[in-house]
A and B are shown apart, each in its own frame.
Chain A
Amino acid sequence: MKKNALDFKEGMPVSAMSITDMSKNKTGSWRYMRPYYQNKTAPCIKGCPTGEKIPDYFDKVKAGKFEEAWHIILEDNPLPGVCGRVCYHPCEGACNRKDLDSPIAINNMERFVADQNMANGYPKHFHVEKTEMKIAIIGSGPAGLSAAYQLARKGHAVTIYESLAQPGGMLQMGIPKYRLPREVLKKEIKDIQTLGVKIKTKCTVGKDISWQNLQMSYDAVLIATGAIKSRPLNIPGEEKKGIAPGLQFLREFNLDDKKEIKRKVVVVGGGNTAIDCARSAVRLGADVTIVYRRSHKEMPAVPEEIEEAEAEGVKINYLTNPVEFIGDSRVRKIRLIRMELGEPDDDGRRRSVEVQGSEFEIEADQVMLAIGEIPALDFLPDSINAQWGRVDVDSFQMTNNRGVFACGDSANGPIGTVVDAIATGKNSAFTIDAFLNDKSYHFINNNNVVGFDKINLDYFHKEERPAEARSDQTKLTNNFSEVNLGLDKDQAKNEAERCFSCGYCTTCDTCLVFCPDVAITHSDNGAPYTINYDYCKGCGICVYECPRDAMAFEEEIKWKTE
């Protein structure tokens, strides 16, 4: 018989040969540093006032699951179609990708997801069992809508009181249609109403319903009336005909379709309202000049908007300020003075200082004042404290009156933008819910933010940011069709791929591929990977190589003591 190496003699092979593997050798005992998976906060999430889970929904976009992506955004923001168009996107300013090539087009991605879901309604699990609690919200702007939505998702009965004929607040009356088509707004408000939110339009608190009545009939009241009163300039001649708040022009135009415009229009101010006035007036055939007292750099309007306005023929006079309006009963001319920039003031922008003797005049048939808006709080009782013209609230959005809350531009705190209003609306909904249920509430603090230095650039190369499509704007007059058309499916998917996905595992397999000890495997319990600590020697290659800092490395002793 042929001798075979596999013939054992007294339990042992006939020659020195392997009969087993090394699985008994638990090399995990060598380890003094432990790698583990840890999702961290992407800077965009931190940058977004409502804290949208951006890398999370990008992951769904990559997989073509647009409806699931929409659901993720909806957790934090019920108005993605609106925000995806009008938000000043601080997320993009925070994006780590800006240090490699250019930030991810997050704003357009949000819009893309919303646009893909124009025909879809909320999923079943958004509709929860109703509670006994009733909440009144004054104002149906972004703050009020956001709060109503979050409260309704907790099962509370919400009624919104809106003084105008249509809900939406500044989104409805302020923002021009070429930036925000009204069907988008309508759809998202309708979605919120499917949760049982009632909106009473043409119902002014203090006129159609008294404040006392409101406070008595509801378990909590939320003030979300926004800032709708234009600030005056307080200079001679301001009472002349032809001079009016820019917001009034926008409201009359957007709500009542009033199209009266003079030939030479001057807009005073540098914020988004000023730009909206200017671009709307250009579309009505006027010759428009913006007068702004600081320089381009300090202008608070969204930079893209300024660029687009200039491209459409709006002239911008930087470093000038009106000192007097001239004319008989109607305004004919504006006397302007040149300004220069001095020391930075409290909010960090450089103060503008008049240059003595530099006055000059320009012609004007119509003047729109857009130097800022303040809340109109006359309907409130004196017992509710206000500060600097805004309702004074604590960090839980509650006023000094128990059960009365305020958010958005009508309250102190972050002000002036749609997304800030949505964020404070969301926060006040959560604190109202906690208040009604007599629970404590802690805001989620998005710490542990991934910095650019934590991104492993060996895995990324430079790529262009997609250019969004634009509608034909060669004929501007009476053209209120939407200017920006967003991204298409391929662009959106590519953009989701371009995202670093900072601190958020994308199952790219880098850790698994480079593990010298074959200790990382695909997981079957929902987490992307499992580390076999029986064999992991703690070399740390997985943590060091992770392209996006979705792992952490800690001394083993800390794990042992805990």
Chain B
Amino acid sequence: MSQMKFEIPKIELMKSGHVACPGCGASMAMRYALKALGQNTMIVIPACCWAIIDGPSPCSVNGVPVFHTAFETAAITATGIKAGLSRQGDNDTTVMAWAGDGGTFDIGLQALSGAAERNEDIIYVCYDNEAYMNTGIQRSSATPWGAWTTTTPTKTPKSRPKKNIIDILLAHHIPYVATASVAYPDDFIRKMKKAKSIRGMKFIQILSPCPPGWKSAPEQSVHISRLAVNSKVFPLYEVEDGYRYKISLNHKNIPVEEYLKHQGRFKHLSKEQIKQIQVDTDTKWEVLMKKVEMGELFSEN
């Protein structure tokens, strides 16, 4: 069999009519997430793109209950809802916090850290589009080094590397942490289902292409996501119990330049700067490989 066949649940909880930009990665991500989690799900959305995408009150595009909340409170609101359901004797409903990188990496970090430390039984999904896209493409701590945003213009692009949110979450020793990509819906859905099956805190980071913010062509969103994975800028892996690392698929060896060149936000980069990004990416991949090895070492004992 030459072409991979998708094995994706047929159920469509997210409906048409949402107001995401054409080619939005976050809308694809929500579609897959709900396909995986099913009808018995509640979503908590803080201030982020998805607060708008879902539709104005009294409309919602998602066929499950959605609770809109303040920017910094996604994790704690989800915790509260889960506690409330539990108090009513409902331990089956999945509660998912669905926040952007601003609400996760920056302003919502304390609530997230708190929920993780308490090992609350929620799924926290960060759809990471690497800047405050909804308010006009301002830099966040998820914006990669060298990228253009409206607050890091091309003369002085972002001078600090992207925050490693996965490592922060792993430091809390929670049961399940994973990265996922909209270019690999099978893998995405498998991870969401796995997260649903685990009790305790789950964290999933999704690289979510943003055509207006990344200055990329809407039709290339899936293609760019695939390049991000295969250039190892955004490798796909999962970590169980804080140390058992598992790489999700065979990453092809694609130079980062392939990934960068499709995006206007990296257009100003010089050859040397691209080389620097390549070196950084390779180093991070090496480190990840070492962690995989160490995880194997511990698993044997």
**Which of A17, A18, A510, A553 makes the CB contact (< 8 A) with B6?**
A510
Determine how close the nearest CB of chain B comes to the CB of A489; give it in whole angstroms: 15
Query: A516 near B28 (CB under 8 angstroms)?
Result: yes
Asked if B223 is at the interface (CB within 8 A of a chain A CB), the reply is: yes
**Which of B27, B60, B211 makes the CB contact (< 8 A) with A517?**
B27
Chain A contacts for B18, CB-based, 8 A: 22, 25, 27, 517
Asked if B264 is at the interface (CB within 8 A of a chain A CB), the reply is: no
Nearest-CB residue, chain B, relative to A517: B16
A6-40 at interface with B (beta carbon < 8 Å) = 13, 16-27, 30-31
B251-276 at interface with A (beta carbon < 8 Å) = none
**When each residue 520-554 of chain A gets 1 if its CB lies under 8 Å from chain B and 0 otherwise, what string results?**
00000000000010110111110111010000010
Asked if B297 is at the interface (CB within 8 A of a chain A CB), the reply is: no
Known interface pairs A494-B1, A497-B2; A516-B20 also in contact (CB < 8 Å): yes
Query: B3 near A519 (CB under 8 angstroms)?
Result: no
CA distance A24 to B18 in the complex (A): 10
B98-120 at interface with A (beta carbon < 8 Å) = none
Query: A463 near B19 (CB under 8 angstroms)?
Result: no
**When each residue 41-63 of chain B gets 1 if its CB lies under 8 Å from chain A and 0 otherwise, what string results?**
00000000000000101111101
Asked if B87 is at the interface (CB within 8 A of a chain A CB), the reply is: no
**Size range of the interface on A?**
35 or more
**Which of A13, A27, A458, A541 makes the CB contact (< 8 A) with B218?**
A541
CA distance A537 to B53 in the complex (A): 14
**Which of B14, B63, B219 makes the CB contact (< 8 A) with A539?**
B219
Asked if A154 is at the interface (CB within 8 A of a chain B CB), the reply is: no
Number of B residues whose C-beta is below 8 Å from A?
41
Asked if A340 is at the interface (CB within 8 A of a chain B CB), the reply is: no
Chain B contacts for A540, CB-based, 8 A: 22-23, 217-219
**Which of A13, A23, A547 makes the CB contact (< 8 A) with B16?**
A23
Determine how close the nearest CB of chain B comes to the CB of A547; give it in whole angstroms: 6
Asked if A360 is at the interface (CB within 8 A of a chain B CB), the reply is: no
Chain B contacts for A513, CB-based, 8 A: 6, 8, 185
CA distance A458 to B4 in the complex (A): 10
Chain A contacts for B182, CB-based, 8 A: 514
Query: B3 near A18 (CB under 8 angstroms)?
Result: no
**Which of B3, B14, B16, B60 makes the CB contact (< 8 A) with A534?**
B16
Query: A541 near B16 (CB under 8 angstroms)?
Result: no
CA distance A538 to B219 in the complex (A): 9
Asked if A312 is at the interface (CB within 8 A of a chain B CB), the reply is: no
Query: A498 near B2 (CB under 8 angstroms)?
Result: yes
Chain B contacts for A517, CB-based, 8 A: 16, 18, 20, 27
Chain B contacts for A506, CB-based, 8 A: 3
Known interface pairs A509-B6, A540-B218, A540-B219; A519-B16 also in contact (CB < 8 Å): yes
CA distance A499 to B1 in the complex (A): 10
Chain A contacts for B19, CB-based, 8 A: 22, 25, 27
Asked if B193 is at the interface (CB within 8 A of a chain A CB), the reply is: no
A13, A19, A23, A539: residue with the most chain B Cβ atoms closer than 10 Å: A539
Asked if A442 is at the interface (CB within 8 A of a chain B CB), the reply is: no
B16, B19, B61, B217: residue with the most chain A Cβ atoms closer than 10 Å: B16
Asked if A441 is at the interface (CB within 8 A of a chain B CB), the reply is: no
Query: B219 near A21 (CB under 8 angstroms)?
Result: no
Chain B contacts for A460, CB-based, 8 A: 2-3
Asked if A508 is at the interface (CB within 8 A of a chain B CB), the reply is: yes
CA distance A518 to B221 in the complex (A): 16
CA distance A154 to B8 in the complex (A): 47
Asked if B24 is at the interface (CB within 8 A of a chain A CB), the reply is: yes
Query: A508 near B16 (CB under 8 angstroms)?
Result: no
Known interface pairs A27-B16, A516-B27, A545-B222; A18-B22 also in contact (CB < 8 Å): no
Query: B15 near A539 (CB under 8 angstroms)?
Result: no
Determine how close the nearest CB of chain A comes to the CB of B94; give it in whole angstroms: 19
Query: B220 near A18 (CB under 8 angstroms)?
Result: no
Chain B contacts for A30, CB-based, 8 A: 22
Chain A contacts for B15, CB-based, 8 A: 21-23, 518
Query: B61 near A21 (CB under 8 angstroms)?
Result: yes
Asked if A211 is at the interface (CB within 8 A of a chain B CB), the reply is: no
Query: B58 near A518 (CB under 8 angstroms)?
Result: no
CA distance A73 to B216 in the complex (A): 44
Chain B contacts for A21, CB-based, 8 A: 15, 17, 55, 59-61, 63
Known interface pairs A18-B58, A514-B222; A461-B2 also in contact (CB < 8 Å): yes
Asked if B280 is at the interface (CB within 8 A of a chain A CB), the reply is: no
CA distance A30 to B18 in the complex (A): 12
Chain A contacts for B82, CB-based, 8 A: none
Nearest-CB residue, chain B, relative to A12: B58
Chain A contacts for B55, CB-based, 8 A: 18, 21-22, 25
Known interface pairs A25-B55, A458-B226; A518-B22 also in contact (CB < 8 Å): no
Asked if B155 is at the interface (CB within 8 A of a chain A CB), the reply is: no
Chain B contacts for A461, CB-based, 8 A: 2
**Which of A499, A537, A541 makes the CB contact (< 8 A) with B222?**
A541
Chain B contacts for A23, CB-based, 8 A: 15-17
CA distance A461 to B3 in the complex (A): 8
Nearest-CB residue, chain A, relative to B5: A508
Determine how close the nearest CB of chain A comes to the CB of B84; give it in whole angstroms: 13
Asked if A379 is at the interface (CB within 8 A of a chain B CB), the reply is: no
CA distance A362 to B38 in the complex (A): 83
Nearest-CB residue, chain B, relative to A496: B2
CA distance A518 to B18 in the complex (A): 10
Chain B contacts for A514, CB-based, 8 A: 28, 182, 185, 222
Asked if B174 is at the interface (CB within 8 A of a chain A CB), the reply is: no
Nearest-CB residue, chain B, relative to A543: B219
Determine how close the nearest CB of chain A comes to the CB of B186; give it in whole angstroms: 9
Asked if B66 is at the interface (CB within 8 A of a chain A CB), the reply is: yes
A-B interface, 3 closest residue pairs, ranked by CB to CB distance from nearest = A540-B219, A22-B17, A535-B16
Extra A-B contacts (13), CB below 8 Å, given A25-B18, A541-B23: A16-B57, A22-B15, A22-B17, A24-B17, A27-B17, A27-B19, A458-B226, A460-B2, A513-B8, A514-B182, A535-B16, A544-B222, A545-B223
Binding site for B on A (CB under 8 A): 13, 16-27, 30-31, 458-461, 463, 494, 497-499, 506, 508-510, 513-514, 516-519, 532, 534-535, 537-541, 543-545, 547, 553
18 A-B residue pairs with CB within 8 Å: A16-B57, A17-B57, A21-B15, A21-B17, A22-B59, A25-B19, A30-B22, A459-B3, A516-B22, A516-B23, A516-B221, A518-B14, A518-B15, A539-B22, A539-B23, A540-B23, A540-B217, A545-B222
Binding site for A on B (CB under 8 A): 1-6, 8, 12, 14-20, 22-25, 27-28, 31, 55, 57-61, 63, 66, 182, 185, 211, 217-223, 226
